[in-house]
């Protein structure tokens, strides 16, 4: 495995970790308004989504 | 050059990210760009029994209930019942012009209704349907609907905790709607005893004193 492949796998592992955290936040009802939310983890995965998201999360009331 | 296995993982990661974004944006089921579609793209063999949650954008606004016990002192002038009822309704929602001084609040309400063109000492409220009351209420953020209602209709609305004000054609008098009390409508009456009505309006009195123009709060 060369260095480029190693870097790609490292990035995939980080993304998988963040997706896992995003799904955990979703299951726990934290969708918007902070780092440990679905929105927060999505922006961490892809900063290019900043200003592009239109959240409409489930209602828990 | 990316190995095919790594490329596949990157594509799957992109689908997962897109799926999570779709859920965040309230697009759960159906065709792309929905969570169901992206998860289906990850594994076409999945059978997804997709169920939509109720979204924040779909939840109705919370009803701001008035205080039905808001006080209604007697009116000082015979022609100001409509202003008293309108002022009571605003105070019941915490939106009176001067909560510390009810009579000053009523005076301000008279001028907000429009003295002397819309309300005056000769005729009282000029438009008996209550359109000017609706305008004043709307200006403080209390949205209303007007209708000529039956006793059963007013009773049903009042029983839900929705307030309003109303005027009987034969009564020639406006009062506030506090709620219900037994089989009567519980009212805020600035002229208790006038035409034998105090704090409650029963079916017989309602039919005797009507027809009733009702201004009912729809959103506050």
Rounded mean pLDDT of B169-192? Answer: 97
Query: Would you say residue B125 lies in a domain?
Result: yes
Residues B110 and B169 in one domain: yes
Choose among B20, B25, B54: nearest Cβ to A54. Answer: B25
Query: Would you say residue B48 lies in a domain?
Result: no
Residues B162 and B95 in one domain: yes
Residues B192 and B89 in one domain: yes
Q: Which residue has the tokens 């929905």?
A: B34
Spatial contact of B190 and B84, defined as CB atoms under 8 Å apart: yes
Which of A40-54, B57-71, B112-126, B168-182 has the lowest average pLDDT? B57-71
Rounded mean pLDDT of B132-159? Answer: 97
Is B25–A55 a contact, with Cβ atoms under 8 angstroms apart? yes
Q: What is the pTM of this model?
A: 0.64
A49 touches chain B (CB under 8 A): yes
Distance from CA of B24 to the nearest CA of A (A): 5
Residues B28 and B103 in one domain: no
Residues B108 and B163 in one domain: yes
Is the pLDDT score of B60 beyond 90?
no
Query: Would you say residue B50 lies in a domain?
Result: no
pLDDT value of position B59: 86
Residues B37 and B106 in one domain: no
CATH code, B87: 3.90.70.10
Is A57–B16 a contact, with Cβ atoms under 8 angstroms apart? no
Query: Would you say residue B70 lies in a domain?
Result: no
Choose among B6, B17, B24: nearest Cβ to A57. Answer: B24
Residues B195 and B120 in one domain: yes
Rounded mean pLDDT of B170-188? Answer: 97
Which positions in chain A touch B35 (Cβ < 8 Å)?
none
Residues B198 and B91 in one domain: yes
Residues B38 and B100 in one domain: no
Condensed to tens digits (0 to 9), the pLDDT of residues B182-194 reads 999 999 999 999 9
Residues B14 and B117 in one domain: no
- Complex prediction ipTM: 0.91
**A61 confidence band (pLDDT: 50, 70, 90):** confident
Choose among B10, B16, B25: nearest Cβ to A56. Answer: B25
Closest CA to B192 of B70, B71, B74, B69: B74
Q: Which domain holds residue B21?
A: 3-42
A61 touches chain B (CB under 8 A): yes
Is A5–B6 a contact, with Cβ atoms under 8 angstroms apart? yes
Query: Would you say residue B183 lies in a domain?
Result: yes
Query: Would you say residue B11 lies in a domain?
Result: yes
Choose among A31, A46, A61: nearest Cβ to B17. Answer: A46
3-state secondary structure at position B19: helix
Query: Would you say residue B198 lies in a domain?
Result: yes
As a dihedral over the C-alpha atoms of residue B97, residue B103, residue B106, residue B110, rounded to 10 degrees, the angle is: -120
What residues are paired with B188 via a beta bridge? B176
Residues B36 and B103 in one domain: no
Sheet of B164-168, strands arranged across: B143-149, B212-219, B164-168, B173-181, B184-188, B200-201
Closest CA to A38 of A50, A46, A29: A29
Is A59–B53 a contact, with Cβ atoms under 8 angstroms apart? yes
Mean pLDDT of chain B: 95
Is the pLDDT score of B50 beyond 80?
yes
Rounded mean pLDDT of B160-174? Answer: 96
Distance from CA of B161 to the nearest CA of A (A): 20
**B1 confidence band (pLDDT: 50, 70, 90):** low
Rounded mean pLDDT of B44-70? Answer: 90
In total, how many domains does chain B have? 2
Query: Would you say residue B60 lies in a domain?
Result: no
Choose among A19, A55, A59: nearest Cβ to B17. Answer: A19
Is the pLDDT score of B62 beyond 90?
no
Is the pLDDT score of B45 beyond 80?
yes
Q: Please identify among residues 14-33 of chain A the ones whose CB lies closer than 8 Å to any CB of chain B.
A: 15-16, 19, 22-23, 26, 31-32
Residues B116 and B189 in one domain: yes
Q: Return d(Cα B148, Cα B220) in angstroms, integer.
A: 21
């Amino acid at each position: 495995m060369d260095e480029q492949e190693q870097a790609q796998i490292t990035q995939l592992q980080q993304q998988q970790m963040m997706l896992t955290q995003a799904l955990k936040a979703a299951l726990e009802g934290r969708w918007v308004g902070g780092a440990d939310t679905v929105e927060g983890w999505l922006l961490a995965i892809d900063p290019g989504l900043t200003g592009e998201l239109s959240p409409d999360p489930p209602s828990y009331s | 050059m990316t190995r095919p296995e790594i490329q596949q993982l990157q594509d799957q990661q992109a689908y997962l990210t897109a799926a999570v974004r779709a859920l965040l944006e309230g697009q759960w089921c159906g065709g792309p760009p929905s969570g169901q579609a992206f998860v289906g793209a990850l594994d076409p063999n999945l059978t997804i029994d997709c169920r939509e949650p109720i979204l924040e954008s779909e939840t109705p606004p919370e009803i701001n209930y008035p205080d039905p016990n808001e006080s209604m002192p007697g009116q000082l002038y015979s022609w100001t019942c409509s202003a008293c009822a309108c002022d009571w309704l605003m105070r019941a929602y915490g939106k009176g012009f001067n909560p510390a001084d009810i009579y000053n609040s009523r005076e301000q309400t008279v001028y907000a209704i429009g003295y002397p063109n819309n309300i005056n000492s000769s005729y009282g409220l000029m438009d008996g349907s209550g359109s000017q009351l609706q305008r004043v209420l709307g200006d403080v953020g209390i949205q209303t609907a007007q209708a000529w209602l039956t006793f059963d209709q007013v009773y049903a609305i009042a029983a839900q905790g929705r307030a309003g004000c109303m005027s009987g054609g034969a009564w020639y008098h406006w009062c506030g709607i506090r709620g219900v009390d037994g089989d009567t409508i519980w009212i805020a009456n600035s002229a208790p005893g006038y035409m034998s009505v105090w704090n409650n309006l029963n079916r017989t009195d309602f039919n005797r004193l009507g027809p009733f123009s009702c201004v009912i709060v729809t959103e506050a």
